[in-house]
Amino acid sequence: MPMRLQPQPQRWSPPEPGIYKANYDGAYFAEEEAAGIGVVVRNELGQVMASLAEKLVMSQMVEILEAMAARRAMIFMEELGLCRVIFEGDSETVVKALTRGCLDRSSIGHIVKDCMSLMGCFQTCSFSHVRQQSNGVAHALARRARKSSPLSVWMESIPPDISYLVNVDVKT
């Protein structure tokens, strides 16, 4: 019987030196008609530079939330003054729209247009799609937004209740 290889879990991978990686994600809280956005910014050593959790009131539409999370990550990086960035998210549809600069009339077209205008704020700016297991810290921050009022920001840290995920997440 041939041996089948089990797929290895994908984990967060560091950017090149001098570049920061911003992972973003969204989470819905259906019973509250609200959503959360989580963003974590790390350097090439995997050290957290900043993180945020933001709560929004909105109806349930995954692509819109993921596009809003990407836009929030871009705004956060601009606020931090970090200008060489890779943005990672787990919505393939949103990442494709952002990489192609798709300014169509879809539900996320206007958000993609905002993101395109924000790209001028960065020396280098790229988007990549990652699996959900590579985006665990951003997802935990998005879920934590349920407790945020309406925005929580941590500089050079992450909330203590999810800090263990940073260590689990980084490749060894």
State the amino acid at position 59 in one-letter form.
S
Structural domain including 57 reads 20-167
> Is residue 90 situated within a structural domain?
yes
Structural domain includes residue 9: no
Q: Comparing C-alpha atoms, which of 49, 15, 37, 40 is closest to residue 124?
A: 15
Question: Within a domain: residue 14?
Answer: no
Non-local CB neighbours of 25 within 8 Å, separated by 6+ positions: 37, 38, 66, 69, 89, 90, 135, 138, 139, 141, 142
Percent of the chain with pLDDT over 70: 89
What integer pLDDT is reported at residue 142 of this predicted model? Answer: 95
Q: How many domains does the chain have?
A: 1
CATH number for the domain spanning 122: value is: 3.30.420.10
- pLDDT band at 102; cut points 50, 70, 90: low
Q: Which band of pLDDT confidence, cut at 50, 70 and 90, is reported for residue 39?
A: very high
- Residue 113 CA to residue 91 CA, distance in Å, equals 17
